[in-house]
Amino acid sequence: MTTDEVAAALDRVVGGLPGGGDSRPGQRQMATAVARAIAERRHLIVGAQTGTGKSLAYLVPALLSGSRVVVATATKALQDQLAKKDLPFLAERLAIPFEFAVLKGRSNYLCRQRALEVAGAGDQLELGAATGPDGAGSDGAGSDGPGFDGAALGAFGRQVRRLIEWSMTAETGDRADLPFEPQPRAWAMVSVSSTECPGANRCPSGDVCFAEAARAKAALADVVVVNTHLYATHLASAGAVLPPHDVVIFDEAHELEDVASSSLGLELVPGRFFGLARNAKPLITEAAVLDAIDDGGTRLSAVLDQRRGQRLAHPLPEEVETVLTVLRERVARVSAALRQVDQADSARKARAQESAGHLASDLDQVLALPPTSVAWIEGPAYTPVLKVAPIDIAPLLTTLLWQGDDAPTAVLTSATIPPKLATRLGIPVGSFDELDVGSPFDYPNQALLYCALHLPDPRTDRYEAAMHTELEALVRAAGGRTLGLFTSWRAMEAATKALREVLPWPIFTQSDLPKPLLIQAFKNDERSCLFATMGFWQGVDIPGRALSLVAIDRIPFPRPDEPLLQARRELLGRAAFGAIDLPRAATLLAQGAGRLIRSPTDRGVVAILDPRLATARYRWDLVRALPPMRRTRHRREVEDFLADLRT
């Protein structure tokens, strides 16, 4: 496979796009770089801004190379684009046969063994008493099927029944293929996590398992699409999750550091202990053993709730250490009792043993917390969670991913590549190349970057009212058509309240509708506004006249009290701001600004309502991370630009 062959194949593929496709030099440059990286077995980091067509730029050379490829994405939207659009299109247009598959974590698939057990005896008693918080009928289920007493079933029970009926005809068992959205508790009744499943060989339903069928299909595929969390889980399992592969492509690579930190750490939630008690209940006759585990989950919930939002010192607080030690002893008692159980219910026994084993291991890790990890407690009052994560992910990734004769060649790509990404991920010096193919868009003519220099410092009391006044003027100039991105929920709600009182156009917020419906409502009404927080700074695609103004309230620096980043700052000392806070702010700011120009015909303004973008000593680090838009500090110029767009 030569680079000329790759370029020619890419041209043929792009020529088959609707309208014949566009000539994109950056796409061709990226495709040939990916081809060289695979041929020379060198890792590649490539920045490719919106509109480059980066998925085709990495898929075409990867497929032509004959390599077995895993593509890991950070968002479901991109996963769906690859599986439902890009790969089927390439299967038609590329002159080579290939197979592709999507693989998800085990808990995304219905467990046929659990469904059989629930439909049988032991778990039936749980269905009648449990009614969802939204009341009867919320599941949308119809008449009760044979074998179920409809009068005894609440909304929760009817959802479980409907899931069991679906399992009898489902092709994939994938939750995403359900015709309705079940309550989490209902889905939990018919699914298992990777910490519960004993494996196909130890399960009576192993030969008809949906998750195993998906893994078998992936094992035969040339391209496997996964999310980045699953890939990190694969690394943590020493390669036991995914089939062997030659190349891994991390799309949205700016997310890799945080996802890997999460997946290579652990989480302890009280629900894991309640679940163990529930799974072991039909097997263990000693009620005291089960009651002790159930009581331990309740005690853990109470202790964690008292310290929500806190980082834990390595010498754990006494009350936390005490309850974890007690739980470790009680899990050991459950494991001992399970070993005495006969094999009459081997599947349930294997699941309970798997769950107890993982719990014991996680408790041991927390009780012997190493100095290289940080622990903290977060979550709402009803589900506090104790999290542990490695402070520096680089050494782990160096060992698990980048080094070794059988290590895959990695391509890391994103519209915004964070500074020093290779160092932060532990990619060995000399083993990779870096490339930025830029953007196909004419940013200096399509977009204007405005910094509201006259506003007060966002850290002062005078800022909020002045920012609302400024935002009102900009939205009026745009005639609505505004995506307001805020760094906190409180800031979003305050701006919404202030501007709804003075503007004649609808203002949607992310609390109004689910995300897909919200974006569609914004697209449908060209004069509306959409105000949102961090979930909308990336992965939102709104081309056309519906969006002329992206307004960002302040530079999105990470919270100073976020436990993992706090620990990393302590490790780096005075260098922390430049190594952690500034790169993260720059990357997120670029992601937010990137919502504006999504096609060659889009035009508009990115307004940063934070004067620090023009005055702070670090301002050029932020500006250089943004697309090369024409810049101004004068609102009159912005208003004229937006008025021109309206006409």
d(CA 235, CA 240): 8
DSSP 3-state of 250: strand
Fold agreement between 3-99+224-263+393-436 and 443-646: yes
d(CA 634, CA 647): 21
Average pLDDT, the chain: 90
pLDDT tens for 385-394 read: 999 999 999 9
d(CA 621, CA 603): 25
Closest CA relative to residue 189, chosen from 318, 307, 72, 278: 278
Mean pLDDT of the region 27-40: 96
What pLDDT was estimated at residue 133? 35
What pLDDT was estimated at residue 195? 85
Q: Which residues contact 151 (CB under 8 A, 6 or more apart)?
A: none
Amino acid letter, 355: S
Instruction: Say whether pLDDT at 141 is over 60.
Output: no
pLDDT tens for 501-542 read: 999 999 999 988 888 889 999 999 999 999 999 889 988 889
What pLDDT was estimated at residue 197? 87
DSSP 3-state of 449: strand
Instruction: Say whether pLDDT at 496 is over 60.
Output: yes
- Give the DSSP per-residue string, 72-123: EESSHHHHHHIIIIIHHHHHHHSSS---EEE---GGGB--HHHHHHHHSSGG
Query: What is the architecture of the domain spanning 443-646?
Result: 3-Layer(aba) Sandwich (3.40)
CA distances from 371 to 176, 323, 374 (A): 40, 21, 7
Which CATH class, in words, describes the domain spanning 3-99+224-263+393-436? alpha beta
Mean pLDDT of the region 2-20: 85
What pLDDT was estimated at residue 179? 87
pLDDT tens for 143-161 read: 333 344 444 457 888 899 9
Domain coordinates in residue numbering, the chain:
3-99+224-263+393-436, 106-210, 266-390, 443-646
- Give the DSSP per-residue string, 425-445: HTPPTTSEEEEE---SS-HHH
Most confident of 130-144, 271-285, 547-561: 547-561
Helix then strand then coil, in percent of the chain rounded to 5, is: 50, 15, 35
Instruction: Say whether pLDDT at 238 is over 90.
Output: no
What pLDDT was estimated at residue 552? 98
CA count, 13 A, side-chain hemisphere, 494: 15
d(CA 110, CA 190): 6
Instruction: Say whether pLDDT at 3 is over 90.
Output: no
CA distances from 269 to 288, 405, 553 (A): 22, 38, 35
Which tokens belong to 48? Answer: 């490719």
What pLDDT was estimated at residue 343? 65
Residue 190: phi, psi to the nearest 5? -120, 20
8 Å CB contact between 268 and 365: no
Which tokens belong to 195? Answer: 């910490």
Confidence band of 1 (pLDDT split at 50, 70, 90): confident
Instruction: Say whether pLDDT at 123 is over 80.
Output: no
Confidence band of 244 (pLDDT split at 50, 70, 90): very high
d(CA 372, CA 359): 21
d(CA 28, CA 335): 57
Which tokens belong to 172? Answer: 């994939």
CATH number 1.10.275 is the correct assignment for the domain at 266-390? yes
Closest CA relative to residue 249, chosen from 218, 221, 227: 227
Amino acid letter, 139: D
CA distances from 308 to 18, 325, 377, 383 (A): 52, 20, 5, 10
pLDDT tens for 304-357 read: 999 998 999 889 999 999 999 999 999 999 999 999 887 666 788 888 999 999
Give the strand order in the sheet containing 630-632. 507-509, 529-532, 482-485, 549-552, 604-608, 447-451, 630-632
What pLDDT was estimated at residue 344? 65
Q: Which is more confidently placed, 541 or 21?
A: 541
Mean pLDDT of the region 43-65: 94
Strand partners, 32: none
pLDDT tens for 428-464 read: 999 999 999 989 999 999 999 999 999 999 999 999 9
Q: What percent of the chain has pLDDT over 90?
A: 71
